[in-house]
Amino acid sequence: MTDAAIKVEDITYSYGDLQAVKGISFEVQPGEILGFLGPNGAGKSTTIKMLTGQIAPKSGLAQILGKDITLDDPDIQARIGVCFEEKNLYLSMSGKENLDFYASLYGIKDAGSVEILRRVGLADRAKDRVKTYSKGMRQRMMISRAFINSPDVLFLDEPTDGLDPVTSASIRNTIKEEAGRGAAVLLTTHDMFEADELSNRVAFLNDGVIVALDTPENLKLKYGKRSVKIRLRDGAGVREETVALDAPESGELIKAAVGSGEVLTIHTEEATLEDIFIKMTGRGLAG
Amino acid sequence: MSRTVSRASIVSAIVKKDLVEFSRDPLYLFLSILGLVFFIGFFWIAPNTVNETLVLGVHQTGMDALFEEFEQGATEAEGLKLVQFASEDELKKVVSGDVEYWESEDGTQRFFRDKAAGDKRPEDAKRVAVAIGIGFPEGFLEKTAAKEKTTVTVYSDADVPAEIQGAMKSFVREIAYALAGNELPVTEPAQENIILGTDRAGDQVSLREKMRPMLALFVLMIEVISMASLVSSEVLTRTVTAVLVTPAKAGDFLMAKTIYGTMLAMSQALIVLVAIGAFTAENWALLLLTMLVGSVMFTGVAMIVGAAGKDFIGTLFYSMLFLLPLMIPAFSILLPGTASTWIRFLPTYGMTQVLTGITAYGLGLADVWKNLLVASAWVIVIYLAGLFTLKRKVESL
pLDDT higher than 90, residue B379:
yes
Give start and end residues of each alpha helix (H) in B25-152: 26-45, 64-76, 88-96, 140-145
Q: What angle do CA A115, A120, A122 make, to 5 degrees?
A: 75
Are the Cβ atoms of A90 and B239 closer than 8 angstroms? yes
In B99-236, at which residue ranges do the beta strands (DSSP E only) sit?
A: 100-104, 110-113, 125-127, 132-135, 153-156
The reported pLDDT for the residue numbered B185 is: 62
Amino acid letter for position A23: G
B278-317 pLDDT per residue, tens = 888 888 899 999 999 999 999 999 999 998 877 778 888 8
The reported pLDDT for the residue numbered A180 is: 95
Contact B291, B213 (CB under 8 A): no
Contact with chain A for residue B341, Cβ under 8 A: no
Helix, strand, coil percentages (3-state) for chain B, rounded to 5, are 60, 10, 30
Q: Does residue A178 sit within a domain?
A: yes
In chain A, at which residue ranges do the beta strands (DSSP E only) sit?
A: 6-15, 18-28, 33-37, 59-64, 67-68, 80-83, 153-157, 184-189, 201-206, 209-214, 227-234, 237-244, 263-268
ipTM for the complex? Answer: 0.85
Q: Tell me the mean pLDDT in the region B119-138.
A: 86
Q: Does residue A282 sit within a domain?
A: no
pLDDT higher than 90, residue B333:
no
The reported pLDDT for the residue numbered B18 is: 94
Please list every residue in chain B whose beta carbon sits closer than 8 Å to the beta carbon of residue A147: none
Residue A181 and residue A244 in one domain: no
Are the Cβ atoms of A88 and B242 closer than 8 angstroms? yes
Strand order in the sheet with B100-104: B110-113, B100-104, B125-127
Q: Which of A1, A8, A46 is nearest to A213 (CA)?
A: A8
Q: Is A254 helix (H, G, I), strand (E, B) or coil?
A: helix
Q: Is A24 helix (H, G, I), strand (E, B) or coil?
A: strand
Contact with chain B for residue A80, Cβ under 8 A: yes
Residue A137 and residue A253 in one domain: no
Contact with chain B for residue A19, Cβ under 8 A: no
For chain B, percent of residues with pLDDT exceeding 70: 87
The reported pLDDT for the residue numbered B175 is: 74
Give the number of other Cβ atoms within 10 Å of residue A215's Cβ. 12
Domain boundary residue, one of A215, A233, A258: A215
- Considering only CB atoms, A92 lies closest to which of B6, B13, B25, namely B25
Residue A55 and residue A166 in one domain: yes
Q: Does residue A283 sit within a domain?
A: no
Contact B304, B386 (CB under 8 A): yes
Give the count of Cβ contacts less than 8 A between chain A and B: 87
The reported pLDDT for the residue numbered B29 is: 83
Q: Which of residues 82-121 of A touch B (CB under 8 A)?
A: 82, 84, 86, 88-93, 97, 101-102, 104-108
Q: Does residue A98 sit within a domain?
A: yes
Contact B63, B136 (CB under 8 A): yes
Residues in chain B: 397
3 state SS for B276-313 = CCCCCCCCHHHHHHHHHHHHHHHHHHHHHHHHHCCCHH
Residue A99 and residue A189 in one domain: yes
Give the number of other Cβ atoms within 10 Å of residue B108's Cβ. 7
The reported pLDDT for the residue numbered A2 is: 56
Domain boundaries, chain B: 7-47+206-396, 54-179
What is the spatial distance between Cα B319 and Cα B329, in angstroms, rounded to a whole number? 17
Residue A177 and residue A243 in one domain: no
Mean pLDDT is lowest, of A36-40, A116-120, B20-24, B104-108, for B104-108
| pTM of the entire predicted model | 0.74
The reported pLDDT for the residue numbered B78 is: 59
Q: Does residue A175 sit within a domain?
A: yes
- CATH number at A16 reads 3.40.50.300
| Least Cα separation, residue A52 to chain B (angstroms) | 6
Residue A128 and residue A257 in one domain: no
| Cα A58 to the center of its chain, rounded Å | 25
Contact with chain B for residue A16, Cβ under 8 A: no
Domain span including residue A253 = 225-269
Residue A97 and residue A158 in one domain: yes
Q: Tell me the mean pLDDT in the region B360-384.
A: 91
Q: In the Cβ-directed half-sphere of B51, how many Cα atoms lie within 13 Å?
A: 9
Please list every residue in chain B whose beta carbon sits closer than 8 Å to the beta carbon of residue A75: 2
Q: Does residue A185 sit within a domain?
A: yes
- Considering only CB atoms, B246 lies closest to which of A77, A97, A150, namely A77
- Considering only CB atoms, B3 lies closest to which of A78, A89, A93, namely A78
pLDDT higher than 80, residue B89:
yes
What is the spatial distance between Cα B114 and Cα B129, in angstroms, rounded to a whole number? 14
What is the spatial distance between Cα B11 and Cα B17, in angstroms, rounded to a whole number? 10
Task: Name the domain count of chain A.
Answer: 2
Question: Which residues on neighbouring strands pair with residue A12, listed in sequence order?
Answer: A22, A59
Per-residue pLDDT tens listing for chain A (287 residues): 558 999 999 999 999 889 999 999 999 999 999 999 988 888 998 999 999 988 999 999 999 999 999 888 888 999 999 999 889 999 999 999 999 999 999 999 888 999 999 988 899 999 999 999 999 899 999 999 999 999 999 999 988 887 888 888 888 998 999 999 999 999 998 888 889 999 999 999 999 999 999 999 998 888 777 788 899 988 889 988 888 887 888 888 888 888 888 899 988 877 788 888 888 887 766 65
pLDDT higher than 60, residue B114:
yes
CA distances B221 to A99, B73, B214, B345, Å, are: 33, 49, 10, 19
3 state SS for B319-376 = HHHHHHHHHHHHHHHHCCCCCCHHHHHCCCHHHHHHHHHHHHHCCCHHHHHHHHHHHH
Torsion of CA A150, A154, A155, A157, to 10 degrees: 80
| Least Cα separation, residue A48 to chain B (angstroms) | 11
Residue A256 and residue A164 in one domain: no
The reported pLDDT for the residue numbered A20 is: 92
pLDDT higher than 70, residue B203:
no
Q: Which of A61, A69, A13, A6 is nearest to A213 (CA)?
A: A6
**H or E segment and range at residue B11:** helix B7-24
What is the spatial distance between Cα B320 and Cα B305, in angstroms, rounded to a whole number? 10
pLDDT higher than 90, residue B241:
yes
Please list every residue in chain A whose beta carbon sits closer than 8 Å to the beta carbon of residue B241: 54, 84, 88
Are the Cβ atoms of B17 and A75 closer than 8 angstroms? no
In order, the DSSP letters of A119-165 are HTT-GGGTTSBGGGS-HHHHHHHHHHHHHTT--SEEEEESTTTT--H
Residue A137 and residue A233 in one domain: no
| Least Cα separation, residue A173 to chain B (angstroms) | 22
